[in-house]
């Protein structure tokens, strides 16, 4: 991966928190492993790369990311295969996406020269933090934020890049009940919906809270013009199965190009499943529900993997989907993807990176 690799110093912790961590009760994002990678962007170049013990950082109160949200992040996962190999899932695709986000947010790109080395060294160093249970993983959170101590609105000249990691189970604890959103939007065409940037998630908090107040786990986001066509669900891409056809909204600028979304579409096509990336809206779903052809609805994401939607609420009506264990296609896709990630199934698409230090 990459051409010239940049090597950097590694300072190991003298106080590991590993033994205090309960791997049987992992809450997504609640525990951080022992180390983190840090680099700074100064004078037009990335510099000062290092791995250090996980620790707080200090920034100026005028730090521009705190005011104008010039930041991007990624979420990726590492696994341990049964033969002990350390596996990272699709790091190249995550680098591609973080750099697409960087361009949209007017931020410097990350070079492959230290991105992959940072991941390899960090996962290797904190390998004992990788949970062993199937479906669990070490979640890597790379992020970059603007650090200029300046509150004029302009692209920062300086940035910090950090990767920290967390042992995680699934993001959602089971199926989700969702409500179709017809007032707020997650993102509009021409906005930053396809960039993985914090503001998209901040904007979702109030609508998600209002949905939670009504007893729903998450939102089915609709388009910004008519509130008719679906975009995403909560923090996930969205898929339906109608009449054995897998249907997902097309990427068009406002939807995050999910890496799990890409995996599911790739595998389904490889299996000969009919796949459609096209607009799909509430009228079609209600119609399919009523004529009995709506077989499945689920979200996809790195954190969530595949999360089944149990119930969709719209205009005072609840549409209850088949029991999640009966959804043949999505369960098969989920298991196969897990098997690839854990090194059980052959890596026929070349998605798995084996750390070899
Ligand atoms: C991911 O799926 O990795 C995400 O970034 C969602 C996140 C907000 C937990």
pLDDT digits (tens, 9 = 90+) for 49-106: 999 999 999 999 999 999 999 999 999 999 999 999 999 999 999 999 999 999 999 9
State whether 27 and 149 are in the same domain: yes
Which residue has a Cα nearest atom 5 of ligand 1? Answer: 75
| Phi, psi dihedral angles at 48 (to 5 degrees) | 55, 35
Q: Mutation test of ligand 1: which of 302, 307, 341 has the most ligand atoms closer than 8 Å to its C-beta? A: 302
Taking Cα atoms as reference points, which of 244, 310, 320, 255 lies closest to residue 286?
A: 320
Who's near 283: CB < 8 A, 6+ residues apart? 228
The answer for 219, left when phi > 0, alpha when psi is -120 to 50, beta otherwise, is beta
pLDDT digits (tens, 9 = 90+) for 165-211: 999 998 998 999 999 999 999 999 999 999 999 999 999 999 999 99
State whether 250 and 120 are in the same domain: no
State whether 204 and 122 are in the same domain: no
Ligand 1 neighbours by CB, cut-off 6 Å: 75, 171, 201, 235, 301-304
Helix (H) or strand (E) segment spanning residue 38: strand 35-42
Overall pTM > 0.85? yes
Ligand 1, closest atom to CA 73? Answer: 5
Which residue has a Cα nearest atom 9 of ligand 1? Answer: 303
State whether 159 and 184 are in the same domain: no
Domain that holds residue 66: 18-170
Cα distance between residue 346 and residue 349, in whole Å: 9
Q: What pLDDT, on a 0 to 100 scale, did the predictor assign at position 52? A: 98
State whether 190 and 336 are in the same domain: yes
Q: What pLDDT, on a 0 to 100 scale, did the predictor assign at position 3? A: 63
Ligand 1 midpoint to CA 304 (Å): 7
State whether 34 and 182 are in the same domain: no
Cα distance between residue 331 and residue 333, in whole Å: 5
Q: 166 in helix, strand or coil?
A: strand
Query: What is the pLDDT of the chain when averaged over all its residues?
Result: 96
State whether 67 and 164 are in the same domain: yes
Tell me which of 150, 170, 190 is where a domain ends: 170
Q: What pLDDT, on a 0 to 100 scale, did the predictor assign at position 163? A: 98
Ligand 1 midpoint to CA 201 (Å): 10
Question: Do 191 and 225 contact (CB within 8 A), yes or no?
Answer: no
Taking Cα atoms as reference points, which of 262, 251, 252, 269 lies closest to residue 92?
A: 262
* DSSP bridge partners of 87: 79, 354
- Looking at per-residue pLDDT, the higher value among 170 and 352 belongs to 352
Ligand 1 midpoint to CA 131 (Å): 18
pLDDT at 138 over 60: yes
State whether 122 and 186 are in the same domain: no
Q: How many Cβ atoms from other residues are within 10 Å of residue 108's Cβ?
A: 19
Ligand 1 midpoint to CA 83 (Å): 28
Which residue has a Cα nearest atom 8 of ligand 1? Answer: 235
């Amino acid at each position: 991966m990459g051409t010239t690799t940049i090597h950097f110093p590694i300072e190991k912790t003298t106080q590991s928190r590993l033994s205090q961590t309960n791997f049987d009760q992992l809450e997504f994002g609640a525990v951080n492993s022992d180390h983190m990678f840090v680099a700074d962007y100064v004078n037009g170049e990335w510099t000062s790369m290092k791995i250090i013990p996980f620790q707080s950082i200090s920034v100026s109160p005028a730090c521009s990311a705190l005011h104008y949200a010039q930041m991007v992040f990624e979420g990726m996962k590492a696994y341990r295969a049964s033969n002990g190999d350390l596996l990272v899932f699709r790091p190249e695709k995550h680098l591609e996406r973080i750099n697409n986000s960087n361009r949209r947010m007017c931020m410097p790109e990350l070079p492959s020269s230290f991105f992959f080395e940072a991941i390899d060294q960090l996962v290797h160093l904190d390998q004992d933090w990788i949970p062993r249970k199937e479906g669990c993983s070490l979640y890597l959170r790379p992020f970059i934020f603007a650090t200029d101590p300046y509150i004029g609105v302009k692209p920062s000249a300086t940035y910090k890049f950090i990767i920290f990691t967390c042992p995680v189970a699934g993001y959602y604890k089971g199926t989700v009940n969702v409500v179709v959103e017809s007032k707020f939007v997650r993102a509009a065409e021409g906005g930053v919906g396809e960039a993985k940037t914090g503001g998209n998630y901040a904007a979702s908090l109030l609508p998600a809270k209002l949905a939670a107040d009504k007893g729903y786990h998450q939102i089915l986001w609709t388009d910004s013009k008519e509130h008719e066509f679906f975009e995403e669900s909560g923090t996930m891409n969205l898929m339906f199965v109608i009449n054995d056809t897998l249907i997902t909204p097309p990427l068009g600028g406002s939807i995050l190009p999910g890496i799990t979304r890409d995996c599911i579409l790739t595998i389904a096509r490889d299996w000969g499943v009919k796949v459609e990336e096209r607009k799909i809206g509430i009228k079609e779903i209600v119609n399919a529900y009523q004529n009995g052809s709506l077989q499945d609805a689920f979200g996809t994401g790195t954190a969530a993997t595949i999360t089944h939607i149990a119930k969709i609420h719209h205009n005072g009506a609840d549409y209850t989907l088949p029991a999640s264990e009966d959804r043949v296609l999505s369960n098969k896709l989920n298991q196969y993807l897990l098997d690839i990630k854990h090194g059980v199934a052959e890596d026929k698409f070349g998605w798995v990176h084996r750390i070899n230090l």
